[in-house]
Chains A and B, each alone.
Chain A
Amino acid sequence: MKDFHRGLMKLALPCCCSLGLVVAMFAQRPFRQYPSVEYGESTPLPSDSQRPGEWTFARLMYPPGPNDGYRGRFDGDWREGMSLWTQDGPPADRAMAAAVRRLTRIDARSVEQDVNLDDGDEVYNWPWLYAVQVGEWGITQHQADVLRDYLLRGGFLMADDFHGAYEWQMFLERMRMVFPDRLIVDIPDNDPIFHTLFDLDDRYQIPGQAHVRRGYKVPDYPEGPNDGKGAHWRAIYDDKGRIMVAISFNSDLGDSWEWSDRPSYPERFSALGIRIGVNYVVYSMTH
């Protein structure tokens, strides 16, 4: 009798585990490639796009804000792609995933996952989230609530590609909907996030592909001659001193990934962009 019980337990454990795995897999939304503002629907899929990985590049889908730069050009339903949030994608996402796979021991999925905060608990399946053009975003209060909960539960958001004081204000406005009372601070040089995999003591401004010659992007509404100049690596910390939101202000890391294999884009920008991105990923997976 005892043997029977033991045998039953032995059988039950793997069954439960398998069931859990299957449930977890089906709980995640399947991969879907959205048309992007830069590449339309023409991006070919890599051969191993169906292979799951330990980590996936998740891109935040959000509605455009009042200063949406694509207003008038892409005014369709943001939930179907072809909107501000698809900027640089999918090549940037896939180049970053490939770098993570190659430069670390993390088995990264080759394709991205676009995540809508209105989509139930979907965001909780993706511990690392990337948001582009956050100076022009327009997340709703509900989305901000979900994002806050996600971040407080251990999620990580990388906010990228916004420049100048005006876009900073726009970003801040929406970020205050997420965290009304948390400060945004400069990340100190000795923070583990800059030393988790690569030692990144020397961090310079990473311009977008269109602004390489000048070295920085002149904002659409500049406030002074130097607005948009100088890299700022900022963050929002949780109560235990861990970064929840990493903010690359006045830099365009997305472009540094997207253009990493183009001769026209200086390699040193890509090299730093990839290093910072990889450190953010490893940090988020280990802290």
Chain B
Amino acid sequence: MSYDSELSSYIATLQKRLRLGAWLRGAAIFAGTALMVTVLLVLLLNRFAFPAHAVTAARLAILVALAAVAVFGIAVPLVRVTTDWAVRNAEAANPALGQRLMTFEERVSKSNDAFLELLAADTLVRIRDTQPSSLVPDNRLFALGGAGLSCLAVLVWMIAAGPGYLGYGASLLWTNANPPPLYAISVTPGDATVRRNSDQRITAHVTRLRPGKAQLFARYQSSKVWEPASMQAAPDSGGGANYQFVFAGLPENVEYYITAGPLASSHFKVRVVDLPSVKDIHVTYHYPEWTGMKPKAEENSGDLRAIEGTEAVIEVKMDRPLKDGQLTLDDGHAIPLTGGAGNIYKGSIRLDKDGAYHLAEMDEEQQVRLSEDYFIATDKALPPEISIDRPGSDYRASPIEEVTVGVKAADRFGLHELHLNYSVNGGPNRDVDLLKTPGAKNADGSYTLPLEDYKLLPGDLVSLYATARDGHSEARTDIAFIQVEPFEREFSQSQQNGGGAGGGGKANQTEISKREKELIAATWKQQNDKTSTPKDAAAAGKFLSDAQQKLRDQVAALSIRMQTRNISEANQEFTDFDKDMQNAAAAMAPAAEELKGMKWRDALPLEQKALQALLRAEATFRKIEVAFGRQGGAGGSGDDAGRDLASLFDLELDTEKNQYETAQTASPAQQHEKDVEDALEKLDALAKRQEDLTNQQHNSQQSFQERWQQEMLRREAEQLQRQLEQLAESGQQGSNGSEQDSQRQSSSSQNGSQSSRQQPGSPSSRLSAGARGDRRIEQALKRLQQATDDMKRNGNPQQSAAGRQAVDELRKASSLMAGTERQLASDKVGDLSREADRLTQEERSQADRINKFAGQQPDPHAMNLDSMLRRVHDRDQLAKDRQQLSDDLSNLQRYVREAAREMASVQPGVAQKLRDALTQMDESDLDNRVQRTADWLRRGINPNANGTESEIAQGLAKLNQQLQQAQQKLNQGGPGQRAIDKHGETTALDQVEGLRKQLEAMAPSQDGQQEQNRAGQGGDARGHNSDGTGGNDTNTGNNHYQAGQPTGSQGSSGNPAGAERTFRQSMRALNQLRQMVEDNPEAAKEVAELARQMQLFEPSRFPGNPAMLEQMHRQVLSSVDKLELQLQRDAASTQARTGKSSAVPSGYQESVADYYKRLSKNP
């Protein structure tokens, strides 16, 4: 290649390089500009909520900006990059060229100069330092390219997936897509047609924006001016804002639009037309045929209330002819109205569920409402109620007894059938018709089962159930059993002598049949459960099958182990027992299979057969006990067999199995108490709302708003009613359970068990307390039912007093529930007091025994090994009993502490008494003293010797006395203490005092922490003492580990749930106080102020700012002070004047209000 060609090539490369640099720079500027302009425009548009016209302008602006950049940033620089420009750049960058390159460039195109070759060679030598890449370095090219690409990428990302308004705006500006507006104002109903002079509510919902206000601009047909009106803000749970405005009595067409901040809605029109109005509504109910009820007509009532399946024919009388009228249901479904003669139109609605409807007319394809909403309330068609009231479940009869079975049934629409079904030993089902008068609403019948005729043996059983049917459905009772027992009673001294381990005095042999009975009852329930889904049924089948299989394994194991231990052949009774067990296991195996396949009907006879075999085995077992148990475990192979059998039984059916087999998170009694408290709270709230509503209602005709509120209240009351029904049922079950427990306990004590202790205030004992409250719950339920009925009638103009009656019924129900709550507390304290009494007596008895033991000085001459061992045994027994006393005392202490904590807010006085008892226990060191004496006894030291025993006796007596005082204090109030005494300031003052204590308990200061610390210290101290005694005594291990256990004394103040509960109780107390002072305007004002502050003080709204919380608490307490002062002043003045405040007659306020209303209407 010649030098000049080489130099020409260099110049061309240089030019290309410069051109590339210009390109990349232009592209980077272009992309950067696009991004920057887009962001700026989006920010600008966002301020104005992206108006459509501005978007177009913004797009134009982007276009202009980019065009300018394309021209000035890309095109112009590219045009500028000529050969001359490139050469000049090279000369400028390398002065050593000395214009050689320029000279070459100028001459190369003009002539074929011979010197050019030389010039080119010389220039080539000098341009080695001026390579194109040094003029436009690679780094710069990469930087420019990278910057351009980055800007482009950011822009594309913003357009495609940018978040928030940036992404929305970028997408709007750059794409043709039409995304839903980011900020929008939706107007309801938009265009509408209404009757002349009626109201029309306009609602605007602003999305993603919270403008300070919204304005409605309206232009009436007769005017040319847009009139602005501010809209009223309404609450909105989403991220936007709601506003509303009502056009009142619209006389003519109106056009309107709404502005909110930068947003403006489209224009809408409300068309005003002259439409007919409802003069009268007449409803005829056609009840379902099965009810046997005749059609019933109701005048002037749009609301529909009837049993489900009823056809309600609605006749509407209009004041003028109606065109395309319809009944519109709340689900949007429309029922056309027919007829028209005499302006009367007809339509019918089938009542299947609760809802609402209104009358409407179609006008120019728009639905125009002609009436307000009417409610549809559907009563469920409940099946008949039926129960076997005699002889009670699981009756035990002798084989020759005549057992009368009594059945009771009731049905709202009349009974069609009433049957008793029974089966002897799982045999064929026998049916007895007990209904004397078909169609009767209440019926009872009885049937006598002559057991002698069935030739039954001990262990046989008769299963029975009753059915009742009305025209619609059938109801069945649970399955019950009559169990045949030996004619003569057989008693045993003790079945446990020398028998199994771990338990004592448990009648386990009945547990096995009990489990089978439970399985039968569960199978029966499953068979009759019509609501169970296939999935639920399969799960229940598997569960029951597994349970049956497990029971079979245990029964079979019992039989096999009897055989392997040669017990089964000890004598005929054992052989029979084994045979019955085998029969039971043989019947259980196919029963488990049937249960797995959900063949309930096929499983039941097999289960009953197994039960029969088990009962026979149990009857035989009792004989064995009688035959072999009397000797008290002394010698004899037959006795060994009897003991071994008892032990085998005990192992397989140990009822002490605890939480890992039967997991329970909360005890039934605790749950019951909580449910009662919840129900009481809801009742209080309902009563108050009903009262407010009744007070608002100034005339006999309710407004729509009032009717709506009344309907909602009624539905809530019905829900609460169902909750109370469940509560009553659960209480009933608890009662049965506790009765069974007590029966079992009494039977176990008969069987020689020494212990019949029951934990005071523990779940089992509290359950019985809960059961005692059931009657009150049932009464409360009846009151609530009555209140619900009153609420239903409250909508009826003829029943204006129904609202007031509903309030009264609700108040009575609330009072009854409060009584139940109180009863539970009373029973709890009663249990504690009884336990303290028992411990006092036990201590006395032990002291006597210790004295007696100490008094029996061993005769040194007659000393032998046996007498020494006996004496050691007696001493150990005394120590063991004393240890038990110590444990029981510790438990009592724990339960008293729990009770004091629970009652602190409800019964402060009683709680104080309980706390006093605890303090006394601590001061007298009772717990440790008793423990110490147990240790002394173990070492053979007589605690009576140094006076400790008498101090313990005194301490226990004092504890007993204080607990009795606590119980008396609780009983002093009587069952009606919580009932509201409207005119007693003293009661109100007491209420304020109680409220103050509750509020003080809620103090957000460190009190709670201190209490917790105290409790913790107490626990530690006890632990140290235990350690201390343990160091000196033999009983080391136990004490060591007790020290580490939690004391269970969580401070109530430190517990958020406790604070919440105290708050709720305070609010309830405040509501009651409101009732008490309603006739005292000044006190009522103070109460209202207090209520307002209490709302702010609600624990769930705690802002987590202790200082602020403290301040709020002080304010609330200050208001309580003011209220107390006010009430004291009133009480004093009342006493001075008359001794009794003047009572305002019921309904006086309403009459006065009505009087002034009429006065204003008749000038």
A residues adjacent to B (C-beta < 8 A): 98, 101-105, 185-191, 195-204, 241, 260-263, 266-268, 271-272, 274-275, 282, 286
> A101: which B residues are within 8 A, CB to CB?
553
Chain B, residue nearest A194 (CB): B502
Chain B, residue nearest A200 (CB): B502
Contact A195 B658 (CB under 8 A): yes
CA separation between A187 and B1038, bound complex, in Å? 7
Q: List 21 A-B contacts (CB under 8 A).
A: A102-B553, A103-B554, A103-B652, A105-B661, A186-B1036, A188-B1042, A190-B1042, A196-B660, A197-B657, A197-B660, A197-B661, A198-B654, A200-B502, A241-B1044, A260-B561, A261-B561, A262-B565, A263-B567, A268-B643, A268-B644, A282-B660
> Which 8 A-B pairs rank lowest in CB-CB distance, beginning with the nearest?
A186-B1037, A261-B564, A267-B644, A272-B501, A188-B1041, A199-B656, A188-B1038, A267-B647
Contact B1037 A271 (CB under 8 A): no
CA separation between A203 and B1042, bound complex, in Å? 19
> A196: which B residues are within 8 A, CB to CB?
658, 660
Contact B1041 A271 (CB under 8 A): no
B719 to chain A, nearest CB (A): 38
Contact B647 A271 (CB under 8 A): yes
Contact B500 A104 (CB under 8 A): no
> A275: which B residues are within 8 A, CB to CB?
501-502, 651, 654
> B654: which A residues are within 8 A, CB to CB?
103, 198, 275
- Other 12 A-B pairs with CB < 8 A, given A198-B657, A268-B498, A268-B644: A102-B553, A188-B1040, A195-B658, A199-B503, A199-B656, A260-B561, A267-B565, A267-B643, A268-B500, A268-B643, A268-B647, A271-B647
Q: Which of B489-532 contact A (CB under 8 A)?
A: 498-504
Chain B, residue nearest A274 (CB): B651
Contact A104 B661 (CB under 8 A): yes
Q: Which of B637-677 contact A (CB under 8 A)?
A: 640, 643-644, 647-648, 650-652, 654, 656-658, 660-661
Is B986 an interface position by the 8 A CB rule? no
Is B566 an interface position by the 8 A CB rule? yes
> A204: which B residues are within 8 A, CB to CB?
501
Is B55 an interface position by the 8 A CB rule? no
Contact A263 B1041 (CB under 8 A): no
> B557: which A residues are within 8 A, CB to CB?
98, 102
> B640: which A residues are within 8 A, CB to CB?
266
Q: Which of B468-508 contact A (CB under 8 A)?
A: 498-504
> B553: which A residues are within 8 A, CB to CB?
101-102
A252 to chain B, nearest CB (A): 16
CA separation between A186 and B1039, bound complex, in Å? 11
> A266: which B residues are within 8 A, CB to CB?
640, 644
> B1038: which A residues are within 8 A, CB to CB?
188-190
CA separation between A41 and B647, bound complex, in Å? 33
B546-561, CB under 8 A of A: which get 1 and which 0? 0000100110010011
CA separation between A200 and B567, bound complex, in Å? 26
> B550: which A residues are within 8 A, CB to CB?
102, 105
Chain A, residue nearest B561 (CB): A261
> A102: which B residues are within 8 A, CB to CB?
550, 553-554, 557, 652
> B566: which A residues are within 8 A, CB to CB?
263
Count of chain B residues near A, Cβ 8 A: 39
CA separation between A282 and B553, bound complex, in Å? 19
Contact B648 A185 (CB under 8 A): no
Contact B1037 A268 (CB under 8 A): no
| Centre residue among A189, A268, A271, A274 by max chain B CB count within 10 A | A271
> A203: which B residues are within 8 A, CB to CB?
501
B869 to chain A, nearest CB (A): 13
> B501: which A residues are within 8 A, CB to CB?
200, 202-204, 268, 271-272, 275
Chain A, residue nearest B640 (CB): A266
CA separation between A95 and B1040, bound complex, in Å? 35
CA separation between A203 and B1037, bound complex, in Å? 15
Q: Which residue from B564, B651, B656 sits with its C-beta under 8 Å from A271?
A: B651
Q: Which residue from A185, A202, A263 sits with its C-beta under 8 Å from B1037?
A: A185
> B652: which A residues are within 8 A, CB to CB?
102-103
B873 to chain A, nearest CB (A): 14
A4 to chain B, nearest CB (A): 21
Contact A188 B1037 (CB under 8 A): yes
Contact B500 A198 (CB under 8 A): no
CA separation between A38 and B652, bound complex, in Å? 28
CA separation between A204 and B502, bound complex, in Å? 10
> A189: which B residues are within 8 A, CB to CB?
1038
CA separation between A64 and B550, bound complex, in Å? 41
CA separation between A184 and B658, bound complex, in Å? 27
B181 to chain A, nearest CB (A): 28
> B503: which A residues are within 8 A, CB to CB?
199
CA separation between A189 and B561, bound complex, in Å? 30
B1019 to chain A, nearest CB (A): 15
Contact B658 A271 (CB under 8 A): no
CA separation between A198 and B1036, bound complex, in Å? 24
B993 to chain A, nearest CB (A): 43
B657 to chain A, nearest CB (A): 6
> B499: which A residues are within 8 A, CB to CB?
268
B1036-1080, CB under 8 A of A: which get 1 and which 0? 111011101100000000000000000000000000000000000
> B657: which A residues are within 8 A, CB to CB?
197-198
Contact B565 A261 (CB under 8 A): yes
Say yes or no: A272-B502 contact (C-beta < 8 A), given A102-B553, A199-B656: yes
> B565: which A residues are within 8 A, CB to CB?
261-263, 267
Chain A, residue nearest B570 (CB): A263
Say yes or no: A199-B502 contact (C-beta < 8 A), given A191-B1041, A267-B644, A268-B647: yes
CA separation between A191 and B775, bound complex, in Å? 41
CA separation between A199 and B505, bound complex, in Å? 14
> A267: which B residues are within 8 A, CB to CB?
565, 643-644, 647-648
Chain B, residue nearest A234 (CB): B1037
B217 to chain A, nearest CB (A): 47
Q: Which residue from B502, B643, B1040, B1042 sits with its C-beta under 8 Å from A202?
A: B502
A278 to chain B, nearest CB (A): 10
A197 to chain B, nearest CB (A): 6
A283 to chain B, nearest CB (A): 9
B753 to chain A, nearest CB (A): 13
A144 to chain B, nearest CB (A): 25
Say yes or no: A271-B554 contact (C-beta < 8 A), given A185-B1040, A188-B1037, A188-B1041: no
